[in-house]
């Protein structure tokens, strides 16, 4: 393919993927409200749109009740009065929601969505993605997720509100603290696969999924919740303390963009977690039918979303001192120790000294 054809393909595929993620964001909100309602024995959205199915007793059954709730919410946000408070920094105040949404979309560019699907994947590449073959894809993901901090802290600062600036400062401290542990946990799949290309990391998991390296997968999952400011790490939006946090002065679609960013990052980071630790698009018969990769990755993303919703419904919110202590005094030391031990094991394996050492240990303690 010529450079122009590659660029055109990236634009078309990127547009389709972004459209799918934006639509998915809308229905992720419905999924969360429905699942939370079931878990907490409440009634979820069941009025805005449904498919009537007549029953034998004459009473109609409402199939997919609430299916149009995301559309109703979007219409409400579009027509809701959007007030700009006085004395805000107008440019940064309007830029901050974009800095929250754009990174959530950019992450999807390097996620391998399927294997080498005939007709969809150019010859030099072995997997389907918006931007395949990026040999520093993991660094790209870490860099882009870090930009989200600016959207949060600048929104608080530009709002000219004490509550908003406190929420923004707390959010930036939380996100930066947990990004350290996240970065160290991401190094484990890189070391095991010998590559920072997400497609090669997925292919290297054909023998076993890296979730078997339980500490790294567990640390990454916790750090993702803190990065998303999801319960029990949603201290930046603790209503009883900060009056909804950094976005308290936003309304209408500008508030909706922060809302959109959270749910889009939920889907994006679930896809990253699936790619790094759960085999990505790999699954039964995917070698014979590469298009099945789309289905397997979608299922893994939905499972990740359900797990986040379950945690929100189950665990209480931490105090801020507990959150910071856990990040710096527990999660970071454990991730450093796990990284060092894994590096030593891999070096011993490459030098051919691991198996003799294991045999010696078994002889000492087993016999």
pLDDT tens figures, 194-235: 999 999 999 999 988 999 999 999 999 999 998 888 888 887
Q: Is residue 6 part of a domain?
A: no
- In-domain check, residue 234: yes
Structure tokens at 338: 């796990």
The fraction of the chain above a pLDDT of 70, given in percent, is 96
pLDDT given at position 113: 92
Q: What percent of the chain has pLDDT over 90?
A: 41
Decide if 334 is inside a domain: yes
pLDDT at 117 over 60: yes
pLDDT digits (tens, 9 = 90+) for 54-111: 777 667 777 788 888 888 888 888 888 888 888 899 999 999 999 988 888 899 889 9
What is the C-alpha separation between 209 and 278, in angstroms, rounded?
Answer: 5
Compute CA distances 356 → 237, 353, 359, 362, 364, whole Å: 53, 6, 5, 10, 12
Asked if pLDDT for residue 188 goes beyond 70, the answer is yes
365 CB-contact burial (10 Å; exposed 0-12 / middle 13-18 / buried 19+): exposed
Residue at 27 is within a domain: no
Closest by CA to 18, choosing from 104, 77, 97, is 104
Domain count, the chain: 1
Structural domain harbouring 154: 81-366
| 52 is a domain residue | no
Q: Can you read off the two tokens belonging to residue 346?
A: 């891999």
Question: Residue 52: what pLDDT?
Answer: 77
Domain-embedded: residue 24: no
Q: How far is CA 29 from the centre of its chain?
A: 14
For residue 286, report the phi and psi dihedrals to the nearest 5 degrees: -70, -25
When pLDDT is averaged across residues 263-292 and rounded to a whole number, the result is 93
- Please provide the DSSP assignment of 242-266 as one string: HTTGGGTT--HHHHHHHHHHHHHHH
């Amino acid at each position: 393919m010529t450079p122009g054809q590659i660029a055109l393909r990236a634009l078309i595929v990127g547009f389709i993927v972004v459209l799918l993620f934006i639509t998915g964001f809308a229905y992720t909100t419905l999924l969360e409200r429905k699942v939370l309602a079931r878990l907490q024995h409440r009634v979820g959205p069941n009025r805005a749109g449904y498919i009537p199915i007549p029953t034998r007793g004459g009473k109609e059954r409402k199939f997919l009740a609430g299916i149009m709730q995301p559309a109703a919410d979007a219409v409400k946000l579009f027509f809701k009065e959007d007030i700009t408070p006085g004395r805000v920094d107008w440019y940064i105040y309007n830029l901050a929601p974009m800095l929250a949404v754009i990174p959530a979309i950019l992450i999807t560019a390097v996620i391998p969505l399927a294997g080498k699907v005939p007709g969809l994947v150019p010859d030099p590449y072995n997997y389907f993605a918006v931007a395949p073959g990026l040999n520093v894809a993991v660094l790209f993901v870490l860099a882009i997720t870090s930009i989200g901090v600016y959207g949060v802290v600048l929104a608080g600062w530009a709002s000219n509100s004490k509550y908003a600036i406190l929420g923004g400062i707390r959010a930036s401290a939380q996100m930066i603290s947990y990004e350290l542990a996240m970065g160290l946990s991401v190094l484990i799949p890189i070391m095991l696969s010998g590559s920072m290309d997400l497609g090669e990391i997925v292919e290297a998991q054909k023998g076993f999924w890296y979730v078997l390296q339980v500490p790294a997968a567990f640390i990454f999952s916790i750090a993702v919740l803190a990065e998303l400011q999801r319960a029990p790490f949603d201290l930046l939006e603790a209503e009883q303390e900060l009056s909804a946090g950094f976005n308290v002065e936003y309304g209408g679609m500008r508030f909706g963009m922060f809302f959109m960013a959270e749910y889009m990052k939920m889907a994006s980071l679930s896809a990253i977690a699936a790619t790094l630790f759960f085999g990505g698009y790999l699954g039964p018969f995917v070698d014979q039918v590469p298009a099945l990769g789309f289905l397997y990755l979608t299922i893994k993303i939905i499972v990740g979303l359900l797990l986040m919703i379950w945690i929100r419904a189950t665990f209480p919110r931490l105090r801020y001192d507990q959150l910071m202590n856990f990040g710096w005094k527990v999660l970071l030391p454990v991730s450093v120790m796990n990284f060092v031990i894994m590096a030593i094991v891999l070096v011993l394996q490459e030098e051919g000294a691991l198996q003799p050492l294991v045999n010696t240990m078994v002889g000492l303690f087993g016999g």
